[in-house]
Amino acid sequence: MRSVLDILDAACRAAFESMGFPAEIGAVRESDRPDIAPFQCNGAMAAAGIAKKRGEKVNPREIAAKAVEILSGNSDIAAIEIAGPGFINLSPSEYLITTRAKALAADAKVGLTAVESPLTVVVDYGGANVAKPMHVGHLRSAVIGEAIKRMLRAQGHTVIGDVHMGDWGLQMGHLISELQSEQPDLPYFDPDITDGYPSEPPVTMDDLARLYPLASNKAKADKARMEASRIATAELQAGRPGYRALLDHFIDVSVAALKIGYGNLGVEFDLWKGEACVDPLIPDMIKGLKAKGITEEDDGALIIRVEDEDESKTVPPVMLLASSGAVLYHTTDLATLVDRKAEIDPDLILYVVDQRQALHFEQVFRAAVKAGWYDREQMVHLGFGTMNGKDGKPFKTREGGVLRLEDLLDIMNAAAARRLSDSGIGADFDAAERAEIARKVGLAALKFADLQNARLTNYVFDPERFTAFEGKTGPYLLYAAVRIKSILRKAADQGVAMGDILVTEPAEQQLVLALDSFDRAVTAASDKYAPHLICDHVYRLAQSFSRFYTDCPILVDGTPEAVKSSRLRLAETTLRQLEMGLDILGIQAPERM
């Protein structure tokens, strides 16, 4: 069944078309003044403009009055009136709202519809580096990318999430050379040994986290030490067996740690590929690009020029090979596109990466189009802003360093635990359950605080504000879900069953209309790659339920059984949609608080 808005929209379009105007100007949308009416049509103003061009002298209110006359007998409309210069305010009938409520309650997806033509989509997000602990800079890519993956899947698209790790380049040379300095007798460093390396890695994640900054700092201060790292990098990329075996160890150790780190965020990937995976594709790729005649040498480097002749802004060329012969980020990103084309053949690739990388992706996308691999609209960079400290700068520790992600989560857990304790929530639960609730509340607070912002917006990290149970916060939404779960348990204890829905009270109608906007919210969020629109929906839904719960008693003595059963069904429907919306955002609600 169509939504309430769709039904009213069709009626208004038909009314304007019958008056000789284009149907689309009769479009209906949610009202700017929901206190007056839930929906409005602004077509009379556009229609008056068309009439004027025809030489007809008619004002918008006259056109609106004619439309109201046509619509006045429609049984789906309870009230219709003209406001201002010609706005048409519309209120749906009780029958229409009740019918829609029953359909939503009976639908396993609570109104969410599948797209007609599903796509195969790769979402490239995460981007953590091998051998480096996850830090606060990885938060937004992971959280936003996961939400985009989930909302596209909810619409029926086939979506593959790829972590796209950084596991190539100078950082690997730093690790190899530093490990050799500390443990020179390992077989990986003997050029005469080419196979039979140990299956157990010679390092732990803690070792890697220590070795990399140690090597990097030494290299910055000592040219000879930097040269050792560069030589190790070159030999790794040239295929030296011992170094490749070490790289495999580094990757295995890092992926195990990353799966824990991302798992603690509620983030999952289908592919755990890095830049090293596509290195074998690079020679043939470059050979093919040369054959197409789109490469050229420039001061010893191999480049692809991607600037359009009529552009006022300079777009630098793509660097395929440095003058030293080394491959660069452009090269591996292009090879990744080749790999995805061969292995997945996606309709669309979305890159959820910091907005500061916008130029890099524009260069890579143009080169891929020039190579004839993809159309431009198949590759989209979804940039985002930064999470800042109270000083307005990207969030760091008090010492000025980059905060580890696990430490960030600890901060949120502690803030959530304090909030729960101060509120007396869960005071009767055992310590383990209280800790698990605090974990879920802290994570919900962090993720919702991030996702409720438009992607490109910067925001300030404030755990006390994030963990509040009032206002537009993750904990507020969790509490709404938990409250409904409590109502359902209490109803079961009292023997009250869910029944047929009958919507009569204003708060019931508002709740149904909030439920009815779910599909529109997910569609708009997916079209714009904007998870904050889903945040807006679940918050509106929770607010509508709060009003409903206040104005429409469910289990109070004296409430007729049929009304109890109807309202209980509405509550259960709200819970299913609320949890579905939260799940799209990567947020889980506890069973109780």
In a domain, 242, yes or no: yes
Q: What is the CATH number of the domain that holds 43?
A: 3.30.1360.70
In a domain, 462, yes or no: no
Query: Which of 92, 113, 138 is the last residue in one of the domains?
Result: 92
Contact yes or no for 163/239 (Cβ under 8 A): no
- Sign for the pseudo-dihedral over CA of 270, 275, 277, 283: positive
| The residue to which tokens 């790729």 are assigned | 285
- pLDDT tens-place string over residues 44-82: 999 999 999 988 888 999 999 999 999 998 999 999 999
The residue type at 299 = D
Q: Sort 294 into a burial class: Cβ within 10 Å, 0-12 / 13-18 / 19+.
A: middle
In a domain, 412, yes or no: no
In a domain, 164, yes or no: no
- The residue among 396 and 546 whose pLDDT is bigger is 546
Between helix 60-71 and helix 4-18 the angle, nearest 10°, is 120
In a domain, 23, yes or no: yes
- In the chain, what is the straight-line distance between the N-terminal and C-terminal CA atoms, in Å? 36
Supply the range of the domain harboring residue 239: 170-264
What pLDDT was estimated at residue 71? 97
**CA-closest candidate to residue 372, choices 278, 291, 298:** 291
Domain count, the chain: 2
Buried b (16+ CB within 10 A) or exposed e, 395-411: bbeeeeeebbbeebbee
The beta strand positions in 234-347, using DSSP E, are 296-298, 301-304, 318-321
In a domain, 251, yes or no: yes
The residue type at 25 = I
Query: Which of 204, 233, 264 is the last residue in one of the domains?
Result: 264
Strands 158-162 and 77-83, bridge-based pairing: unpaired
The rounded distance, in Å, linking the Cα atoms of 429 and 193 is: 59
What pLDDT was estimated at residue 57? 84
In a domain, 10, yes or no: yes
- Grade residue 312 by pLDDT with cuts at 50, 70 and 90: low
- pLDDT tens-place string over residues 356-401: 999 999 999 999 999 999 999 999 999 999 999 988 888 877 666 7
In the predicted structure, residue 409 carries a pLDDT above the cut 70: yes
The residue type at 435 = A
The rounded distance, in Å, linking the Cα atoms of 566 and 401 is: 56
In a domain, 257, yes or no: yes
- pLDDT tens-place string over residues 484-510: 999 999 999 999 999 999 999 999 999
What pLDDT was estimated at residue 399? 67
- pLDDT tens-place string over residues 441-486: 999 999 999 999 999 999 999 999 999 999 999 999 999 999 999 9
Give me the percent of the chain exceeding a pLDDT of 90: 89
**CA-closest candidate to residue 379, choices 390, 387, 370, 388:** 370
Q: Which two tokens stand for residue 60?
A: 């918008």
The model's pTM:
0.94
Query: Which of 230, 264, 298 is the last residue in one of the domains?
Result: 264
Report CA 159 to chain centroid distance, whole Å.
Answer: 13
- pLDDT tens-place string over residues 109-122: 999 999 999 999 99
